Amino acid sequence: MSKIKYVEHSGKEHEVDVPDGWSVMEGAVKNLIPGIDADCGGACACATCHVYVDAAFEDKIPAKSDMEETMLDFAQDLQPNSRLSCQIKVTPELNGLTVRMPKSQH
């Protein structure tokens, strides 16, 4: 289990325990945290689970795959710390991670 903090665009915070091995997207969906749509269910096929990751953790999260890189191109309000949360696997190293959500996933 690792603690992940999800911050909605409005600023509302949700801190939850997510099992290691799950994706950051699943941690949000399974805890009914709004703002991450994940239309495709985690297949890296929709770019609707876009988040901004905490700068302190950028080095601890494995680099983007080509697939994620190209899919992110279709997300709104892209920033250098943009990621697709379905592609971030929760590990003990990510305990304490904060992800922020964009204004909209579509």
Partner 1 sequence: MTERIVIIGAGQAAVQAIATLRAEGFAGSLTVVGDEAFPPYQRPPLSKAYLSGAMDRERLFLKPDAFYAEAKCELILGVAATAIDRTARFVALADGRSLAYDKLLIATGSRVREIRVPGAKLPGVHYLRTIADVDALRPAFKTSKSIAIVGGGYIGLEVAAVARKYDLTVTVFEALDRVMARAVSPILSDFYERVHREAGVEFKLNTGVEAFEGGGKLEAVRAGGKSHPFDLALVGIGIMPNPGLAEAAGLSCQDGIIVDRFCATSDPAVFAAGDCTRHHGRDGNEIRLECVQNAIDQAKHAALAMVGKPTPYSEVPWFWSDQYDLKLQIAGLIQPGDVQVLRGDPAARKFAVFHLRDGVVAAVEAVNAAPEYIVGRKLIGEGARVAPERLADTAIPMKNIS
Interface positions with partner 1 (CB under 8 A): 19, 22, 26, 29-32, 40-41, 43-45, 47, 67, 70-71, 73-74
Q: Which has the closest alpha carbon to 11: 77, 78, 101, 106?
A: 101
Which residue, 55 or 74, has its beta carbon nearer to partner 1?
Answer: 74
CA angle 65, 44, 93 (to 5 degrees): 60
Which residue, 54 or 88, has its beta carbon nearer to partner 1?
Answer: 88
Min separation Cβ 27 and partner 1, Å: 11
Min separation Cβ 68 and partner 1, Å: 9
Which residue, 49 or 54, has its beta carbon nearer to partner 1?
Answer: 49
Which residue, 12 or 30, has its beta carbon nearer to partner 1?
Answer: 30
Min separation Cβ 74 and partner 1, Å: 5
Using an 8 Å Cβ cutoff, are 20 and 90 in contact?
yes
Q: What CA–CA distance (Å, rounded) separates 71 from 53?
A: 17
Strands (E) in 1-106, as ranges, are: 2-7, 13-18, 50-53, 82-84, 97-100
